[in-house]
């Protein structure tokens, strides 16, 4: 049953309303039946309050609006008295504040309505909300406001107190900002809210994105007004990011000044590389890792079967430079895709763009050959060696007793071509298996496919 219904019952039965008043739990009800008047009214209206604000609107009694600050606020009643107001109650119902009203109209047609308000992020106050609990049981939160207004029972929507506490000075600042970080490095900015009641404040970290601002992380201040907010936006991408802090929501907000955090990259850079090499040729890639000193491991990855596979590695010098051999596929002609990879001290791995190295073969090729020859007849094989100029020795091997044995040799011309006599077994009828063999300038030996020559009489 509502307060209005209870008090209307008064008109029908004084005994009934006394029973109803004793059972009321809506705003304005207190525990016990004493008539305390132990507190004096506030001496002066404070401008700040480190506890709970109390606003008393007695304008219906021609007394205006007063306010006080409650240092003690275990309950709404406690806050009202702590703010300096004397209260009187009868049969559990608050009947007067500071002796107002002086008659008994409150028991018949009026009552002290009970309200709450909270402070916004910019120091302004929310609208008053009618209390759903009695002042003897409600527990106000530090930094909030308690309101009381003397109103008529017959008002279906009782008016709220006509004033809220004064606007409070609220500011927020970034008091600890890491100006420069490596990509992947974990760090936070410390936000500090300056206000009479700085604890329990929701604070947001905003980052500049394009032409607007986006919320990155949020947190709530501790009792000292501070909160650490992780710097996660752009953590893995080098660049400079602009941030600000926000207290409050909607239009009731306070912002800090902007501040910048720079993420320094550690992506390895290729400074010199071979585009091609002969098979067997030892070649290396030279690279550097920015924002990294000595003793850091960098490695080469090759694309093998659609996946990146780690190959050789090297260690950076004091300038962050490194040299690493390109060994994968060195003995086989072909084109190989590779990249450099590095994991920085904060566990973030980055890779260079991909490159290719082409291994050029030096396998001798048979251009012309005799399939048969008479015993004693002089015949030769003509061959060529790709990617080789003049003056390089090529030789014929014959398969003798299950092993390849070197026979005659020749020297390439400027086009890499060579002619070599096939002399082994020339005096004896039979079939002989042979091949060409060549060792390039880097010590890598390769052979042609094998062929046969049949000697007949």
Tens digits of per-residue pLDDT, 185-231? Answer: 999 999 999 988 898 889 999 999 999 999 999 999 999 999 999 99
Flag whether pLDDT at 333 surpasses 90: yes
Strand 430-439 and strand 393-400: the pairing is: antiparallel
The per-residue pLDDT for 3 is 39
Q: What is the pLDDT of residue 221?
A: 94
Superfamily of domain 269-360: Immunoglobulins (2.60.40.10)
> What pLDDT score does 27 carry?
40
CB 256 within 8 A of CB 244: yes
Please check whether residue 230 is in contact with residue 158, taking contact to mean a CB–CB distance below 8 angstroms: no
φ and ψ at residue 64, rounded to 5 degrees: 75, -160
pTM, entire model: 0.72
DSSP β-bridge partners for residue 381: 420
How distant is the alpha carbon of residue 440 from its chain centre? 54
Mean pLDDT of 3-18: 34
Q: Answer yes or no: is pLDDT of 15 > 80.
A: no
171-264 CATH choice from 3.30.470.20, 2.60.40.10, 1.20.1250.20, 3.90.1150.10:
2.60.40.10
Lowest mean pLDDT across 1-5, 135-139, 328-332, 447-451 = 1-5
How much is the pLDDT for 105? 60
User: What is the pLDDT, as a whole number, of residue 14?
Assistant: 31
User: Can you tell me whether residue 219 is helix, strand or coil?
Assistant: strand
Average pLDDT over residues 2-31: 36
Instruction: Read off the pLDDT band of 19 (50, 70, 90).
Output: very low
User: In this predicted structure, what is the pLDDT of residue 50?
Assistant: 86
Q: Which token pair is 386?
A: 């790709």
Q: Which part of the chain has CATH 2.60.40.10? A: 171-264, 269-360, 365-456
- Give the span between the Cα atoms of 76 and 41, in whole angstroms: 16
pLDDT bracket for residue 301 (50, 70, 90): very high
Range with the poorest average pLDDT among 155-164, 184-193, 336-345, 447-456:
155-164
Looking at residue 424, its pLDDT comes to 97
**Taking 50 as the threshold, does the pLDDT of residue 376 lie above it?**
yes
What does the pLDDT read at residue 43? 45
pLDDT digits (tens, 9 = 90+) for 307-322: 999 999 999 999 999 9
Cβ-contact 369, 453 below 8 angstroms: yes
| Range in 202-216, 247-261, 268-282 the model is least confident about | 247-261
In whole angstroms, give the CA distance from residue 194 to residue 266: 38
Write down the pLDDT at residue 44: 65
CATH number, domain 365-456: 2.60.40.10
pLDDT per residue as tens digits for the range 385-442: 999 999 999 999 999 999 999 999 999 999 999 999 999 999 999 999 999 999 999 9
pLDDT at 283 > cutoff 60: yes
Q: What pLDDT, on the 0 to 100 scale, is given for residue 128?
A: 97
Bridge partners (DSSP) of residue 285 are 324
Q: What is the mean pLDDT of the chain?
A: 89
Query: Which band of pLDDT confidence, cut at 50, 70 and 90, is reported for residue 106?
Result: low
The mean pLDDT of 92-96, rounded to a whole number, is 86
Mean pLDDT, rounded, for 347-358: 98
Closest residue by Cα to residue 112 from 145, 158, 72: 158
Which of 6-20, 59-73, 153-167, 305-319 is modeled with the greatest confidence?
Answer: 305-319
Distance CA(255)–CA(280), nearest Å, equals: 65
Radius of gyration for the chain, computed over Cα atoms and rounded to the nearest angstrom: 47
């Amino acid at each position: 049953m509502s307060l209005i219904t209870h008090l209307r019952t008064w008109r029908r039965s004084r005994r009934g309303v006394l029973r109803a008043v004793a059972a009321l739990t809506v705003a304005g009800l207190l525990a016990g039946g004493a008539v305390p008047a132990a507190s004096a009214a506030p001496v002066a209206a404070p401008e700040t309050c480190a506890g709970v604000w109390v606003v008393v609107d007695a304008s219906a009694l021609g007394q205006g609006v007063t306010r006080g600050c409650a240092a003690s606020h275990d309950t709404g009643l406690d806050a009202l008295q702590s703010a300096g107001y004397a209260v009187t109650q009868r049969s559990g119902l608050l009947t007067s504040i500071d002796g107002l009203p002086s008659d008994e109209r409150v028991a018949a047609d009026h009552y002290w309505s009970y309200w709450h308000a909270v402070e916004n992020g910019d120091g302004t106050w929310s609208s008053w909300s009618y209390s759903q609990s009695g002042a003897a049981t409600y527990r106000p939160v530090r930094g909030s406001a308690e309101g009381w207004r003397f109103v008529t029972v017959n008002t279906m929507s009782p008016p709220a107190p006509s004033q809220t506490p004064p606007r409070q000075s609220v500011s927020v600042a970034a008091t600890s900002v890491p100006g420069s970080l490596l990509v992947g490095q974990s760090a936070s900015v410390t936000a500090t809210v300056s206000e009479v009641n700085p604890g329990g404040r929701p604070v947001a970290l905003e980052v500049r994105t394009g032409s607007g601002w986006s919320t990155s992380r949020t947190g709530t201040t501790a009792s000292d007004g501070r909160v650490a907010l992780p710097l996660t936006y752009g953590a893995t991408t080098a660049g400079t990011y602009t941030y600000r802090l926000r207290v409050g929501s909607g239009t009731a907000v306070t912002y800090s000044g902007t501040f910048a955090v720079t993420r320094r990259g550690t992506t390895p850079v290729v400074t010199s590389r071979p585009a091609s090499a002969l098979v067997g040729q030892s070649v290396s890639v030279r690279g550097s890792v920015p924002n990294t000193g000595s003793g850091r491991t960098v490695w080469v990855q090759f694309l093998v079967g659609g996946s990146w596979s780690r190959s050789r590695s090297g260690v950076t010098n004091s300038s962050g430079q490194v040299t690493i051999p390109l060994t994968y596929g060195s003995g086989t002609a072909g084109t190989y895709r590779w990249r450099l990879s590095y994991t920085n001290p904060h566990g973030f791995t980055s890779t260079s763009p991909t490159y290719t190295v082409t291994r050029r073969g030096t396998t001798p090729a048979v251009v012309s050959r005799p399939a048969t020859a008479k015993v004693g007849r002089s015949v030769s094989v003509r061959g060529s060696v790709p990617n080789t100029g003049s003056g390089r020795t090529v030789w014929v091997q014959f398969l003798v007793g299950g092993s390849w044995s070197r026979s005659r040799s020749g020297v390439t011309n400027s086009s890499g071509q060579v002619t070599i006599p096939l002399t082994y077994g020339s005096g004896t009828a039979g079939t002989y298996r042979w091949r060409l063999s060549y060792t390039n300038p880097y010590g890598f030996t390769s052979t042609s496919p094998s062929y046969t020559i049949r000697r007949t009489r």
